């Protein structure tokens, strides 16, 4: 029985997840960098990585909005800018430029990080149920897109053994 | 030993999660549709589904605010509306009407989706520690509510084997 | 073979996760209380708890901004305040004071909850890849900080067996 017991202990301790599923629902600088940093880090360490783009996140796979991710200039009290200034015309652009200026000391641009992720084997999926709502047609998808995937396929992934899912 | 080894392999591969726990913390159109779509999709495929409504999410179970979910007209740079317009009186209403107009081509209203989820067996739980803060009394809860649940019960669910938890 | 089968069943049913990893990415009252409530609840029930502070969340570990978490007065249509008022100077402060006034009936302040979490054994980690971007130096970190941790270490935790990860 010793062998069985040993195996039991090993099984009980479980196995590390070897697949990461990231869900990107927003299209703002501060909510796109985290999944891109996690995707490239995980893929570099040999994990399988799938990124599921849904709702506003779909804009990252859409030719019309790819590369145009901004930072909100209002509604984030952690930003050093009063809302009364944040709403003025041009302020979203200014906050975006300031943030991008800081970011580029540390990371590539979002399109560059997406390309880097692809080169590392990360897969990009467009959420089929929200494409119509977001005005994204199949012909709008950038070539980095692997496929169009249903909510039930996403759920199958998220509930598979050995998978860690992070919803952002 | 062959049998044991076979079983071992099966066990190592793990089992698919058969329970989905969704946490709804916001009350905006774009943060309520995703959990409702996931809840109905998961329940349709035979999973057990629990939705835990907390913080602003509690408003969905509150008679006073149920069916009144809006879309933010400012603070989301992915929206095609400058903040200077977004803050004008009536703009939250206008953004909400525009979004709802688009949404109804694809999905039922939020109250309808909640009813549909219930019909599929999804359970709705009010977060007990945030009810007071959000001004929600037990008598305010809509009949779709199954029960009032503590943070430690939620944590027990989230950490149970065979459970996938998505925090939105 | 009976014994093996019994063990198999036990293993198949899996083990409850005994470690909770919380990721704090925002610095607003309504997005900091949830992880602090979960951290203290989980630690009280004997779980190991790690909180990973990243992006705006890093401000909670930064002496310059610790204890200054606010509530957004615009961009949340669940708030009973029109955006046109929400943008006026002082309104973030007013919304914050109103929310804090309500909160203190139910919970300690955020610095107090962080201290309480530490006393229960919760560990606080600063996200190394976003410290530069957020202008947080090692010497800025409050003494409650345990260490500075890389994205790949965080991923190792999030994908470990027996770990539940909640990204907020």
Nearest to A17 among C7, C54, C159 (CB): C159
pLDDT for the residue numbered C1: 34
Q: Nearest-CA distance from A88 to chain B in Å?
A: 6
What does pLDDT average to over chain B? 89
The two beta strands, A19-24 and A48-53, are parallel
Nearest to A133 among B16, B72, B103 (CB): B103
pLDDT tens across B10-39, in order? 334 468 899 999 999 999 999 999 999 999
The sign of the torsion formed by the CA atoms of B7, C10, B14, A14 equals negative
Chain C residue numbers touching A16 (CB-CB < 8 A)? 156, 159-161
Task: Annotate B19-82 with DSSP letters as a single string.
Answer: EEEEEE---BHHHHHHHHHHHHHHHHTT-EEEEEE-GGGGGGGBTTTTT--B--SSS-TTSSS-
Show pLDDT as tens, one digit a residue, over chain B (168 residues): 334 333 333 334 468 899 999 999 999 999 999 999 999 999 999 999 999 999 999 999 999 999 999 988 788 888 877 887 787 888 888 889 988 999 999 999 999 999 999 999 999 999 999 999 999 999 999 999 999 999 999 999 999 999 999 999
> For residue C51, what are its two tokens?
């909180």
Interatomic CA distance for residues C59 and C141, integer angstroms: 9
> For residue C156, what are its two tokens?
């190792």
Residue A150 — very low, low, confident or very high, per pLDDT cuts 50/70/90? Answer: very high
pLDDT tens across A80-129, in order? 778 877 878 888 888 899 889 999 999 999 999 999 999 999 999 999 99
Q: Nearest-CA distance from A118 to chain B in Å?
A: 24
pLDDT for the residue numbered B79: 83
What does pLDDT average to over chain C? 89
Q: What angle do CA C138, C30, B164 make, to 5 degrees?
A: 90
Residues 64-123 of A with CB under 8 A from C: 72, 74-78, 82-84, 86-87, 102-103, 105-106
Chain A residue numbers touching C74 (CB-CB < 8 A)? 74-75, 83
Closest CA to A17 of B51, B164, C48: B164
Whether C159 and chain B come into contact, CB under 8 Å, resolves to no
Whether C151 and chain A come into contact, CB under 8 Å, resolves to yes
Interatomic CA distance for residues B7 and C139, integer angstroms: 53
Residue A7 — very low, low, confident or very high, per pLDDT cuts 50/70/90? Answer: very low
Q: Which residue of A has its CA nearest to B9?
A: A11
Burial of C87 (0-12, 13-18, 19+ CB in 10 A): buried
Nearest to A92 among B14, B31, B77 (CB): B77
- The ipTM estimated for the assembled molecules is 0.87
Look up tokens 């107090």; give the residue.
Answer: C112
Q: Which residue of C has its CA nearest to A34?
A: C55
Whether C139 and chain B come into contact, CB under 8 Å, resolves to no
The sign of the torsion formed by the CA atoms of A66, B79, C56, B150 equals negative
Interatomic CA distance for residues C25 and A56, integer angstroms: 18
**Inter-chain residue contact A11 with B15, CB threshold 8 Å:** no
**Inter-chain residue contact A42 with C160, CB threshold 8 Å:** no
Whether C162 and chain A come into contact, CB under 8 Å, resolves to yes
pLDDT for the residue numbered B75: 84
What does pLDDT average to over chain A? 89
Q: Which residue of A has its CA nearest to C57?
A: A78
Interatomic CA distance for residues C25 and A26, integer angstroms: 14
Does pLDDT of C84 surpass 70?
yes
In this structure, the number of other CB atoms found within 10 A of the CB of residue A90 comes to 11
Residue A8 — very low, low, confident or very high, per pLDDT cuts 50/70/90? Answer: very low
Chain A residue numbers touching C78 (CB-CB < 8 A)? none
Average pLDDT over residues A68-86: 84
Q: Which residue of A has its CA nearest to B46?
A: A152
pLDDT for the residue numbered B14: 67
Torsion, CA B108, CA B111, CA B116, CA B117, rounded to 10? 120
Average pLDDT over residues A64-68: 96
Burial of C108 (0-12, 13-18, 19+ CB in 10 A): middle
Q: Which residue of A has its CA nearest to B87?
A: A87
Closest CA to C168 of B63, B32, B166, B66: B166
> For residue C8, what are its two tokens?
């198999």
pLDDT for the residue numbered C76: 86
Closest CA to A39 of B25, C152, C16, C110: C152
**Inter-chain residue contact B73 with C83, CB threshold 8 Å:** yes
Interatomic CA distance for residues A72 and A29, integer angstroms: 8
Pairwise pLDDT comparison (B125 vs C8), residue with the higher score: B125
Query: What's the whole-model pTM score?
Result: 0.90
Q: Which residue of B has its CA nearest to C82?
A: B89
- Identify the weakest region by mean pLDDT among B78-92, C24-38, C111-125: B78-92
**Inter-chain residue contact C151 with A37, CB threshold 8 Å:** yes
Residue C85 — very low, low, confident or very high, per pLDDT cuts 50/70/90? Answer: confident
Average pLDDT over residues A40-47: 96
**Inter-chain residue contact A160 with B16, CB threshold 8 Å:** yes
CB-based contact B29:B71 (threshold 8 Å): yes
In this structure, the number of other CB atoms found within 10 A of the CB of residue C60 comes to 28
Winning range, highest mean pLDDT, from A158-162, C49-53, C158-162: C49-53
């Amino acid at each position: 029985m010793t062998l069985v017991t040993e195996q039991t202990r090993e099984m009980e301790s479980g196995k590390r997840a070897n697949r990461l599923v990231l869900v990107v629902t927003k299209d703002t600088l501060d909510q796109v960098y985290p999944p891109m940093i996690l995707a490239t880090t995980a893929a570099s360490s040999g994990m399988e990585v799938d990124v599921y783009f849904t709702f506003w996140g779909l804009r990252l796979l859409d030719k019309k909005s790819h590369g145009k991710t901004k930072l909100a200039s209002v509604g984030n009290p952690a930003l050093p800018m009063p809302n009364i200034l944040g709403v003025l015309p041009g302020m979203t652009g200014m906050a975006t430029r300031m943030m991008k200026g800081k970011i580029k000391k540390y990371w590539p641009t979002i399109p560059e990080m997406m390309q880097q992720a692809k080169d590392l084997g990360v897969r990009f999926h467009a959420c089929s149920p929200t494409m119509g709502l977001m005005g994204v047609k199949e012909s709008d998808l950038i070539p980095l897109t692997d496929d169009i995937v249903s909510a039930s396929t996403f759920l199958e992934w998220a509930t598979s053994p050995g998978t860690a899912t992070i919803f952002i």
